[in-house]
Structure 1
Amino acid sequence: LHILLKLADNITTDDIMPAGSKILPLRSNIEAISEYVFSGIDENFSAHAKKAGAGCILARENYGQGSSREHAALAPMYLGIKAVFARSFARIHRSNLINFGILPVVIDEDTYTVLEKDSKIMLKNILRALSGDGDLDAYDAASGRKLGCTISLSPREQDILRQGGLLNYIKSQVRGRNDT
């Protein structure tokens, strides 16, 4: 995964998905609001993410703090964000990331320090990690160095992420009931 942005501590949902009179009318147009993701931090983020096709975010402590805003997970998902690597997550935003199929990965301080914007992270055995043990095999693609990464998920959160998000999870549950 390509790191599209390296952030500091206490990134708020407003930092991720700005609010305001310019953006409010666009709330039902995910393509349009995605143009504003991280725009107060990096005005070219949306274009960079679209060009990359898929990627991840690197942050420090308390990523996603502040008001609960689903669009702060939905719009990055639309732009191809597959994971957020952070020292810690705000509880509600962490849940929103999972619901939109974005993997919240807890990293150690050394991992945060050695990685930079445009670094690439190689992940191995993701399905095994999503099945319970929590150890995620992650490496700095340039050096091959193992990174300190863990995921801590309930069995339901594991299922949601394996399905690609909450909507797919619910669809599979409904299909399962209809098959019986």
Structure 2
Amino acid sequence: MGESVIIGGENYGQGSSREHAAINPMYLGVKCVIAKSIARIHKGNLVNHGVIPMLFENPAVYDSVDLGDVLEFRRLTEQLPERRVTVHNATKHFDFDVLLDLTENELEVVLAGGQLRFLKKQLAEAEGARP
């Protein structure tokens, strides 16, 4: 709980256009999804709930990650704006890169922790800017 990552194959989230498919991982503390590819609507729902959607740069790495592997994200917030993150598999002692196919707005939402937190931050900034 609170330290989980979902590893998915091709078209992760297909048929999961409902928000509940992203709400449950959020409540379980899933921080990101790393997949070979992610269904478009599901990707949007993940972003809205503050779960970072990531794609294996090399899809073959998928076969090298097993249940129970400990994955480390060093300097994650520093790497996110570059749309490329290096992940360290501490269990098997190798690094791999993941890509973020996110717009500027989606990146801001993810960095804020989800759409509700993003909007709350925008409202607070707007209130602070008023005379």
TM-score > 0.5 by shorter chain: yes
Q: Partner residue of 1:171? A: 120
Contact 1:106 1:149 in 2 (8 A): yes
Residue matched to 1:128: 78
CA contact (8 A) 2:50 2:109 kept: yes
Contact 1:84–1:103 (8 Å) recurs in 2: yes
Q: Is the Cα–Cα contact under 8 Å of residues 62 and 90 in structure 1 kept in the other structure? A: yes
Corresponding position of 1:114: 64
- Equivalent residues in 2 for 1:3-14 (5 A)? none
**Counterpart in the other structure of 1:145:** 94
SS of aligned partner of 2:93: coil
- Out of 10, 16, 21, which is 1:61 matched to? 10
| CA distance, structure 2, for counterparts of residue 90 and residue 110 of structure 1 | 19
Q: Is the 8 A contact 2:69 2:92 kept in 1?
A: no
Q: Kindly tell me: are residues 144 and 97 of structure 1, through their superposed partners in 2, closer, same or farther at Cα, counting changes over 3 Å? A: same
8 Å Cα contact 2:12/2:37 also seen in 1: yes
- Structure having the larger proportion of residues in strand: 2
Which consecutive aligned stretches of 4+ in structure 1 deviate over 4 angstroms post-superposition?
none
State the shift of 1:143 in Å. 2.9
Q: What is the rounded CA distance, in whole Å, between the counterparts of 1:137 and 1:148 in structure 2?
A: 4
Which residue does 1:26 correspond to in 2? none
User: 1:79-116 CA deviation, whole Å, 9 max, x = no partner?
Assistant: 11111110000000000001100011101222201101
- Structure 1 gaps of 5+ residues are 1-51
Name the aligned partner's letter for residue 136 of structure 1: V
Larger radius of gyration: 1
The answer for the alignment partner of 2:42 in structure 1 is: 93
Q: Distance in 2 between matches of 1:144 and 1:160?
A: 32
Equivalent position SS for 1:136: strand
Q: Quote the sequence identity (%).
A: 34
User: Contact 1:110/1:148 (CA < 8 Å) preserved in 2?
Assistant: no
Cα distance in 2 between the residues matched to 1:124 and 1:152: 19
For structure 2, the residue ranges without an aligned partner over 5 or more in a row are none
What is the count of residue pairs matched by the alignment?
128
